[in-house]
Structure formats: C-alpha cells, structure tokens
C-alpha cells in the first residue's frame, strides 16, 4: 500500500524544529554552565534561599602562621546597592610562623561547588573588589590549595585605594587537582573590605570573559541546535512577584546585577544573564528564545508552591504598563541600533551589532485565569503592534490533559497567537502510542512549540521512544515549529529533577542516550519533509521512520527507529524521486540493550556508531532491536 515518493509527498517544514531548553534547575547555571569557580562570590546567600545559608556560606575564616584578626559581614557602603553584603577583614597581627614557605596572614577560604577543578598549566583569572578601610596599603596573596593544604598556585597584589576597586591576579597551577580551595589572604596588617571574589578558567567557551564552561558548552554546540529557550521553565515566572526573572536585572557589570533566590531552592547570581545567553546563542548559531513572565507568578497559585513563596499572584494592573515596557525594551536591547537607549547597553557590554532576536515566549505553564488572560493580552498586543516582526510564543499549561490546555488553546485561536508552548513528561509508551498526535492539528493556524518533553527515564528505551516521536514531529514539522527536550542539565548531587539530558560534575560529563537522540535529530535536520520514502509496515507502531531534505546541503536524511527490544525490523528505502543520489552515505546507529544507560562512571555504555555505507536508489535495511538509525545521503 506504499506508493513511491512523488513531489506531492513533500512539504516544507520548520527550519527551526529542534533546539534546546535551558533552565537554571539542577545547578545548571551557577556551579554548572557558568564557569565561575567561587561559590557565593558576593556574600549574598541567605536563609530565605535555603535554611542554614548565610552570607558566609561556603567561606571559611583562614588565619595562617599564628596571625589573628577578625572577619565580619557588613552592608554600609557596598560596591553597589544591588549587591549589599561584603566582608571586612581586620588584620590585627600577621605572625611569622610559615605554612607555605614563609606565608602568614588573615583571610578566607572558598570551597567552590564541592571543590574546584583546576588543570595543570592552564591559567585562572582571579578578581575581587576591595577598598582600604585603614592603613596605607595591604598586601594580598591569592592561593589555590589542595584539600591537604598543599600549595597549587599563588599570586599577589596590593590594595591601596580607599574606594572600591577591582583587583586582579592570575593563577597557573603546576599540577591538576579536582577539589581545590581558593584562599584570599591579607599578608600585612590593616583593615579592608572585600566583595565579588571571582575565579574563572581563562579558557571558557570561545574564551569569552565571564564565560561558560568550555566542555559543557561544547557538547551543546555539537548538537547544532536551531534555537535555545532560556532561562526556564518555572524559573522564568518564579513563585511570587519578587521572584520573577526580570531580564533587565541580569545585564550590565556582574557586580551590579540583581541576585535572587532560585525557585528550585538555591541561588541565582545572574552572572549568566541575558547578555551571556544571547552571546552563547550567537556563538553556536542558535536563535535565542527568551521566555518572559506573563505578569503572573508560578502556576498563579500565589507563591505558596515552593518554600519561600511570597504570596502575590499577579503584577497589579496599575504596574502592568511599566512591565509591558520592560518586555518591549528587550527587543530594543537585542535588535536596536547601538545608538538607541537599550541598544547602547548591549553595545557597552561589547556587542554593538544586533542579536537578531526573532522569538519571544510570554508565560510558562501558567494557570489560565482571567488575571493571566488580561495580562498576557496586554503584552501580546503591545509586542504585536510595536514589533510585528517578533514571533510570539504563548503558553497552554503544564499538560495536554489539564484544563489549562483547552483554555490556553482557546485564547490562542481567538487572538491568533503565532505559536504556543505545549509540555509533557510521561511514560515512554505514551510517545509510541501518540505518534499521530499532531497529524490532525489545524494547519495555517497557531503553531506548536513543544517546549518541554521527555519520557521518564534515561535508559536507551526512553531515548528510542523519544526518537520514534521525533520522526512524527518531523512529519508534522509544518505545524510543530519547534521542540526541545527538558530539562537539559543536571549536576550530580545537586539535582531537583530526576530525568535530564546531560549529567555532569565539576570534572566530567555524562551524555545520556536521550542526548544522543536529540543530537542525531538536530544535527541531521532538514527543511523539507518527504513522505513515503521508507516502505514499512505502518501498522507497527514500534517501527517509525522519517525522511527530510536539507536545502542548504541538498542532503537527504532518512531516520529509522525500532522500539522493539527483541525483533529486527525490515524496511525498504526508496529514493527514486531524488536526483543525483551519491552511493557513499553516512550511517549512524544508536543501539543497545533497552535498559542500558550511561553514567558519569561508565560514560559510553551507549553511544552512536558511525560508518560509511553504500546505498542505491532503493535499498533494504534491517533495523536492529531498540535502535535509531540515521542515514545521510549526498545529492550534490
């Protein structure tokens, strides 16, 4: 019953189909993608973020060589009002007993996020803000030490300004070490104030200052994602009005950014802020998709959803005009000329050229209440009229089975929202049995952004179920405009969400089978879907396939998914409608035991295997049990 492919069987699909969703959950930002090694660098941790936290969390008072003095936290004259806490070191006496070849002094030690990974021969940029409170000058030493107190690297500088001044130093360890501590030590007597103590590897992704952890950023870049949505998820709207992620607070000098509690139970320095997100998108050729709150907080429950919620539901209507302006300002900041008010701030950060923002998301999984609808529409109308070039992505609640789904879609249809964001986390079987979900969606109407989805688990079976579903997303790429797996990053020992795409610790990265599936689809995407290329038994829902063509390269890409864990499935690939099929094709297969998974300890239990195969106009293929096969065929 399968006809040979004809022009009739091809259709244009979204060129932006597969991308990434970054949420600062599971320590994805601070302690994760953001390369800063010092934890609580500006002494802003507090008990409202996590019980027991205080401005000196992750810091220890350090007196070396029979020295003594005091350390206190103060707020009288901070570096900036947004960064109120700082430390005062009063060095009363510097002793003569030496720990490190004559070194004595008073200072403090930071243990980073469970220690700092340092590599022999690489350079680390230290900086801190300091001002002298008494004396003419104070000599400072900055040290990297091992757990047992061995000196790994050191540098020194002098503080002699009575105004806050940024001090810098460079550390180059001679040995690699995975759990180093940083010590900042005053080695002469006097009193000084210290804030924003920072240590970055000089080698960040693309060597950007205030940049990203190179290895983590690289595995994301390798996926060739078409877009990145950020900064969340629930993080975007927070759990109360004063916990919303306000983009304007996250640009400019890092020591001036507004820090706040992370809804997932930790802290946001905002060091990885909007500028860094946009820069990363540009660096890897992905379109930015910022998601801004729709003027209501998490689930619109009044902020009691998580510890520390502050109770207020929605931005009061009399403040909404100002909030709408904040959303409009983002477009000017991203796309306006360097001479515009907001474009000038982008230029001052080192990016005079526009960032070419195309998409803005408004809201995330919000409860579709009258308060939501009123505020969403205000933002939507203003954006549409001032910036018709921006594609607005709306929201339809947390689940396709929830009441917000229908209510959200009703609004989308009524006011013609270009794209809405659907979410689902569910059983792998659901992905197999719902492969036809989008076949019946209305074309030429509101499109779908499948902004969060995952089957519960990181075993190969989960990834292969997702792969089967992704062939259906390609088939429906004329109505599904974008899709992103969620969540993306999870730091071992710091997770709030069990199923994630990439696990990591300070030293290494575990790429899950789910990561490889996402990568194989996004790095092998096309902009035309061609039907009926793969001849298979369509009644077998465990066997899925798709064929796309990429107009830039001319490559034809066939994907075949076999979710059956024991049977090989036979298919025929019929390429007779394509001209110039080259016989040497690239084949990549992800296959293994259904229950196999990767871990930080055994990283590559499951990984794709690449080979060159010979293909003809028509060829047979045996899809192995529990596998995804990608065949990339040249036509030029």
The catalytic residues are: 365
Positions of E strands within 177-275: 177-186, 190-201, 227-230, 260-262, 266-268
Count of CB atoms within 10 A of residue 576's CB? Answer: 12
Cβ closest to ligand AHR, residue 446 vs residue 484: 484
Cβ closest to ligand AHR, residue 490 vs residue 558: 490
In eight-state DSSP terms, residue 67 is: -
Minimum Å distance from CB 487 to ligand AHR? Answer: 4
Minimum Å distance from CB 158 to ligand AHR? Answer: 46
Minimum Å distance from CB 53 to ligand AHR? Answer: 22
Cβ closest to ligand AHR, residue 342 vs residue 405: 405
Chosen residue from 398, 408, 457, 513 binding ligand AHR by CB under 6 A: 398
Minimum Å distance from CB 295 to ligand AHR? Answer: 17
Closest CA to 396 of 385, 383, 409: 409
Chosen residue from 55, 408, 457, 487 binding ligand AHR by CB under 6 A: 487
Cβ closest to ligand AHR, residue 32 vs residue 625: 32
SS3 labels along 423-443: EEEECHHHHHHCCCHHHHCCC
Cβ closest to ligand AHR, residue 357 vs residue 454: 454
Chosen residue from 486, 517, 558, 585 binding ligand AHR by CB under 6 A: 486
Cβ closest to ligand AHR, residue 457 vs residue 487: 487
Closest CA to 291 of 247, 242, 326, 251: 247
Residues whose CB is less than 8 angstroms from the CB of residue 52 and which lie 6 or more positions away in sequence, other chains included:
none
Chosen residue from 216, 234, 281, 577 binding ligand AHR by CB under 6 A: 234
Cβ closest to ligand AHR, residue 287 vs residue 423: 423
CA distance readout (Å), 349 to 201, 281, 299, 304, 337: 20, 16, 34, 37, 14
Chosen residue from 30, 239, 404, 452 binding ligand AHR by CB under 6 A: 452
Minimum Å distance from CB 458 to ligand AHR? Answer: 14
Closest CA to 397 of 412, 383, 382: 412
Minimum Å distance from CB 500 to ligand AHR? Answer: 9
Chosen residue from 233, 240, 363, 418 binding ligand AHR by CB under 6 A: 233
The residue nearest ligand AHR at its CB is: 233
Three-state secondary structure call for residue 38: coil
Looking up tokens 């979410």 gives 423
Tell me whether residue 580 is exposed, middle or buried, using C-beta atoms within 10 angstroms of its C-beta: 0 to 12, 13 to 18, 19 or more: exposed
Q: Which stretch binds ligand AHR (CB under 6 A): 228-236, 312-320, 333-341, 410-418?
A: 228-236
Structure token digits, residue 385: 């009229």
Q: Which stretch binds ligand AHR (CB under 6 A): 231-239, 275-283, 410-418, 433-441?
A: 231-239
Question: d(Cα 360, Cα 350) in Å, to the nearest integer?
Answer: 23
Question: d(Cα 142, Cα 148) in Å, to the nearest integer?
Answer: 17
Cβ closest to ligand AHR, residue 305 vs residue 578: 305
Do 115 and 152 meet the contact criterion of CB atoms below 8 Å apart?
no
Q: Which stretch binds ligand AHR (CB under 6 A): 62-70, 132-140, 229-237, 271-279?
A: 229-237
Per rule CB under 6 A, count of chain residues that contact ligand AHR: 13
CA distance readout (Å), 111 to 37, 59, 429, 551: 9, 7, 44, 51
Question: d(Cα 394, Cα 477) in Å, to the nearest integer?
Answer: 18
Minimum Å distance from CB 236 to ligand AHR? Answer: 8
Q: Does 364 bind ligand AHR (CB under 6 A)?
A: yes
Do 620 and 459 meet the contact criterion of CB atoms below 8 Å apart?
no
Q: Does 305 bind ligand AHR (CB under 6 A)?
A: no
Q: Does 25 bind ligand AHR (CB under 6 A)?
A: yes
Give the ranges where 116-196 is alpha helix by DSSP (H).
none
Cβ closest to ligand AHR, residue 28 vs residue 138: 28
Cβ closest to ligand AHR, residue 189 vs residue 404: 404
Question: d(Cα 333, Cα 227) in Å, to the nearest integer?
Answer: 19
Terminal C-alpha separation, the chain = 31
Chosen residue from 365, 371, 404, 555 binding ligand AHR by CB under 6 A: 365
Tell me whether residue 136 is exposed, middle or buried, using C-beta atoms within 10 angstroms of its C-beta: 0 to 12, 13 to 18, 19 or more: exposed
Q: What is the largest CA-CA distance in the chain?
A: 90
Q: Which stretch binds ligand AHR (CB under 6 A): 53-61, 220-228, 230-238, 528-536?
A: 230-238
Minimum Å distance from CB 363 to ligand AHR? Answer: 10
Chosen residue from 78, 115, 232, 303 binding ligand AHR by CB under 6 A: 232
Q: Does 360 bind ligand AHR (CB under 6 A)?
A: no
Binding mask 400-439 for ligand AHR (x = CB under 6 A): -----------------------x----------------
**Element holding 504 (H helix, E strand):** strand 502-504
Q: Does 500 bind ligand AHR (CB under 6 A)?
A: no
- Contacts (CB under 6 A) with ligand AHR, residues 117-136: none
φ, ψ for residue 523, nearest 5 deg: -80, -10
CA 238 to chain CA mean position, Å = 17
Positions that interact with ligand AHR (CB under 6 A):
23, 25, 232-234, 364-365, 398, 423, 452, 486-487, 497
């Amino acid at each position: 019953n399968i006809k040979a492919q004809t022009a009739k069987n091809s259709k244009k699909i979204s060129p932006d189909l597969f991308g990434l969703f970054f949420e600062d959950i599971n320590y994805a930002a601070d302690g994760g993608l953001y390369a800063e090694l010092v934890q609580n660098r500006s002494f802003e941790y507090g008990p409202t973020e996590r019980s027991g936290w205080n401005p000196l969390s992750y810091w220890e008072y350090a007196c070396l060589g029979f020295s003594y003095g005091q350390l206190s936290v103060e707020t009288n004259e901070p570096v900036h009002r947004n960064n109120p806490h700082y430390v005062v070191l009063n060095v009363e006496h510097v002793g003569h007993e030496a720990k490190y070849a004559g070194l004595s002094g008073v200072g403090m030690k930071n243990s980073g996020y469970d220690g700092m990974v340092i590599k022999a021969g690489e350079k680390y940029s230290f900086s801190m803000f300091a001002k002298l409170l008494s004396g003419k000058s104070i000599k400072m030493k900055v040290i990297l030490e091992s757990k047992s107190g061995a000196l790994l690297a050191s540098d020194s500088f002098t503080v002699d300004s009575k105004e806050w001044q940024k001090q810098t130093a460079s550390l180059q360890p001679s040995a690699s070490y995975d759990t180093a501590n940083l010590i900042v030590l005053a080695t002469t007597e006097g009193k000084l104030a210290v804030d924003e103590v920072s240590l970055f590897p000089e080698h960040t992704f693309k060597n950007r200052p205030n940049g990203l952890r190179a290895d983590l950023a690289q595995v994301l870049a390798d996926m060739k994602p078409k877009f990145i949505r950020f900064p969340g998820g629930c993080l975007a709207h927070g759990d109360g009005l004063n916990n919303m992620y306000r983009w304007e607070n996250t640009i400019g000098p890092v020591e001036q950014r507004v820090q706040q509690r992370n809804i997932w139970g930790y802290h946001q320095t905002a060091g990885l802020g909007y500028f860094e997100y946009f820069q990363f998108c540009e660096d890897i050729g992905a379109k930015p998709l910022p998601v801004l709150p729709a003027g209501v907080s998490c689930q619109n429950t009044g902020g009691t959803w998580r510890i520390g919620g502050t109770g207020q539901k929605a931005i009061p209507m009399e403040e909404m005009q100002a909030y709408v302006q904040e959303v409009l300002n983002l477009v000017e900041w991203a796309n306006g000329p360097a001479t515009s008010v907001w474009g000038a701030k982008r230029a001052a950060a080192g990016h005079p050229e526009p960032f070419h923002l195309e998409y803005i998301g408004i809201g995330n999984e919000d409860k579709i209440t009258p308060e939501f609808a009123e505020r969403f529409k205000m933002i939507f109308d203003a954006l549409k009229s001032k910036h018709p070039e921006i594609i607005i992505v709306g929201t339809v609640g947390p689940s396709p089975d929830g009441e917000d789904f229908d209510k959200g879609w009703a609004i989308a249809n009524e006011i013609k929202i270009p794209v809405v964001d659907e979410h689902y986390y569910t059983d792998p079987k659901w992905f197999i049995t719902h492969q036809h979900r989008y076949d019946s969606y209305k074309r030429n109407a509101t499109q779908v952004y499948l902004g969060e989805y995952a089957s519960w688990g990181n075993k190969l079976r989960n990834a292969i179920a997702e792969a089967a579903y992704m062939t259906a997303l390609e088939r429906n790429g004329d109505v599904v405009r974008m899709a992103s797996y969620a969540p993306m990053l999870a730091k071992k020992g710091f997770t709030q969400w069990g199923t994630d795409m990439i696990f990591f610790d300070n030293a290494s990265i575990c790429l899950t089978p789910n990561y490889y599936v996402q990568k194989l689809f996004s790095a092998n995407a096309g902009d035309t879907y061609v039907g009926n290329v793969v001849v298979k038994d369509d009644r077998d829902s465990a066997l899925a396939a798709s064929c796309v063509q990429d107009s830039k390269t001319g490559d034809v890409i066939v994907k075949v998914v076999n979710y059956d864990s024991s049977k090989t499935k036979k298919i025929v690939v019929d390429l007779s409608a394509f001209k110039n099929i080259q016989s040497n094709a690239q084949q990549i297969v992800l296959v293994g035991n259904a229950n196999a998974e990767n871990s930080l300890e055994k990283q590559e239990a499951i990984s794709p295997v690449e080979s060159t195969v010979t293909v003809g106009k028509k060829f047979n293929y045996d899809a192995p049990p529990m596998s995804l096969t990608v065949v990339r065929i040249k036509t030029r």
